[in-house]
Structure 1
Amino acid sequence: MNITSKDYYESLRKGLTEFQWNKEFKCPFCWSKSYGNLEDVLDHAKIIVNDKREKPIEISKHRAVLKCIQNLDLQDKISGIPRDDDSIVWPWTVILSNIRVGLTDKDIEQRLQLDGVRPSKVVTVWNRGRQTEFAIVVLGKERNDHDTALKLERSFKEEYHGKKDYDSVKHRGHEFFGWMARVDDYEDHQLGNYLQDHTTLISNKEAEMNKDSNSRYNIDI
């Protein structure tokens, strides 16, 4: 039997699987992993769907997940799922933390390139003449830049090197932590100076509408 994305979608709509388990959120087809909110499940599904190396059956399953989460009627029926109204920094940007003092913009860019990431610009953050442990990685304005930012954020989370981990762990070792830049970074007293001069904030809805176009904003990066 050839099961299609539509079949998986119908099974989700009929309530045969759920996105929430206790206080955690899960992808119904990757039950071993837990996520902090529904948006994280959505990001996970987008990565699978856009990864050409994935098996067709996995892409079909996760297309169904995307469709279900994006369906507002279904979203309203899932009790306890918070609506995400956080704004996102645009052009698509990732914050790196736990940067060793002395690393230059070029050092960080070369390290990212070894992982297949080619940023538009890397800027180490300075405060009162001293280098901080943060760097701003501007990826760009295109859809693939958005997808790269999500993949980076997901990879950091899966290695327990995301933003929540950075905020909660006392002994961080020598590895980078990272996350996609959002409104709290934009308003941060260290990161905000650069972000407010060179980027803007857009809503999640605007992000979806403008992933393929840079026509709305005139920003020098």
Structure 2
Amino acid sequence: MSYSSEEETDISDSELDEYVDRCYEQLKDGSRKVKFSDEVYRCPYCPGKKKLVYALKDLLQHASDVGKGSQNRDIKHKGKHLGLVRYIKDDLAQEDLSSELAGLALEVPTGNGVSELFVWPWMGILANVDAEKSSRLKNDLAERGFDPVRVRLLSTGGYAVVEFKRDWSGFYRAIMFEKEFEVDRRGKKDYCASPHLADELYGWVARDDDYNLKGSLGEYLQKNGDLKTISDLVVDEKRKTGLLIANLSNTIQELRTRVDELESNYCKPPAADIHVASQKDEIQ
């Protein structure tokens, strides 16, 4: 059954999720163009606005605003932009970050103060957490694509710590977690400016200033993590890879030696055959 994204008839709320999925697949297969260069993006669903040019984070803000807009807005228009939000988070943003990480792996920064200090393993911080709703935090974050390993509610301060996977995919999810809160103006800077807006949930990635805090948050981070730069982790990863290769080389050499011994023993006639042959020579 063919599907046209130009249909403008209203759809019910129950059909919205399916519509979002279809719009996302269209963006993913290239039916709708979003990226025009490494820095230029356009919304494929708002051609009447003089084809506004966006940076990626601004396009995400635009799509989020429309997707979360008034209920009076056309459901299909919202669905298209919600599909665009998913496409930006799951495809465009990951692609751009992968390129950045590839560059980091090739050129490791040197010197002091050139890289941010992150809490390792990767951790995110949620502030103004409602204790009664904390049991749902992990599922909520998982549904939004952040793939948390666990969420720990701290006993005081209204904080929760989100733990991500230890690999680069965990770093990517942590950064996207932070970016989404920043786009909604609920990042760390916003929290520091208005920390007492208890009805708003704020989030960011844990860094050295969080690690060095006094109180339950700093104590938890110090107990469960260390401070590392990206360059530290890249160098450590290379060292571990080097050790792994060395260990594999040693194992392979040991196996080859063992195989040579087995082949040598296999080619030798049994001792009993040698004795019989020797007796035959003596008789002759």
Match of 2:116 in 1: 86
The one-letter code sitting in structure 2 at the alignment partner of 1:155 is E
| Matches of 1:31 and 1:198, distance apart in 2 | 34
Task: Decide whether the 8 Å contact of 2:122 with 2:171 is kept in 1.
Answer: yes
Task: Decide whether the 8 Å contact of 1:143 with 1:212 is kept in 2.
Answer: no
Matched, 1:162 2:187: yes
**TM-score (norm. length: structure 1):** 0.56
The count of residues paired between Structure 1 and Structure 2 equals 155
Task: Decide whether the 8 Å contact of 2:149 with 2:163 is kept in 1.
Answer: yes
| Matches of 1:214 and 1:123, distance apart in 2 | 30
Task: Decide whether the 8 Å contact of 2:123 with 2:174 is kept in 1.
Answer: yes
Structure 1 or 2: more helix by fraction: 2
| Matches of 2:206 and 2:144, distance apart in 1 | 20
Which of 106, 128, 140 is 1:111 aligned to? Answer: 140
Matched, 1:101 2:128: no
Q: 1:164 to 1:138 in 2, by over 3 A?
A: same
| Matches of 1:32 and 1:122, distance apart in 2 | 26
The answer to which structure, 1 or 2, has the higher relative contact order (CA under 8 A, 6+ apart) is 1
Match of 1:196 in 2: 222
Q: Unpaired runs of 5+ in structure 2?
A: 1-36, 39-53, 59-87, 242-284
For residue 103 of structure 1, give the secondary structure of its aligned residue in structure 2. Answer: helix
The one-letter code sitting in structure 1 at the alignment partner of 2:152 is V
Task: Decide whether the 8 Å contact of 1:125 with 1:134 is kept in 2.
Answer: yes
| Runs of 4+ more than 6 Å apart | 211-215
Which of 92, 96, 102 is 1:54 aligned to? Answer: 92
For residue 123 of structure 2, give the secondary structure of its aligned residue in structure 1. Answer: strand
Task: Decide whether the 8 Å contact of 1:142 with 1:211 is kept in 2.
Answer: no
Shift of residue 201 of structure 1? 0.9
**TM-score (norm. length: structure 2):** 0.45
The one-letter code sitting in structure 2 at the alignment partner of 1:94 is G
Match of 1:126 in 2: 155
| Matches of 1:146 and 1:187, distance apart in 2 | 21
Q: 1:140 to 1:171 in 2, by over 3 A?
A: same
Matched, 1:180 2:205: yes
The one-letter code sitting in structure 1 at the alignment partner of 2:209 is D
Q: Unpaired runs of 5+ in structure 1?
A: 1-7, 10-28, 34-49, 73-82, 216-221
The one-letter code sitting in structure 1 at the alignment partner of 2:187 is G
| Matches of 2:163 and 2:235, distance apart in 1 | 20
| Matches of 2:187 and 2:140, distance apart in 1 | 18
Task: Decide whether the 8 Å contact of 1:91 with 1:200 is kept in 2.
Answer: yes
Structure 1 or 2: more strand by fraction: 1
For residue 144 of structure 1, give the secondary structure of its aligned residue in structure 2. Answer: helix
| Matches of 1:178 and 1:86, distance apart in 2 | 18
Task: Decide whether the 8 Å contact of 1:142 with 1:213 is kept in 2.
Answer: no
Q: How large is the RMSD of aligned CA atoms in angstroms? A: 4.1
Which of 194, 199, 206 is 2:232 aligned to? Answer: 206
* Greater radius of gyration (CA): 2
Task: Decide whether the 8 Å contact of 2:115 with 2:231 is kept in 1.
Answer: no
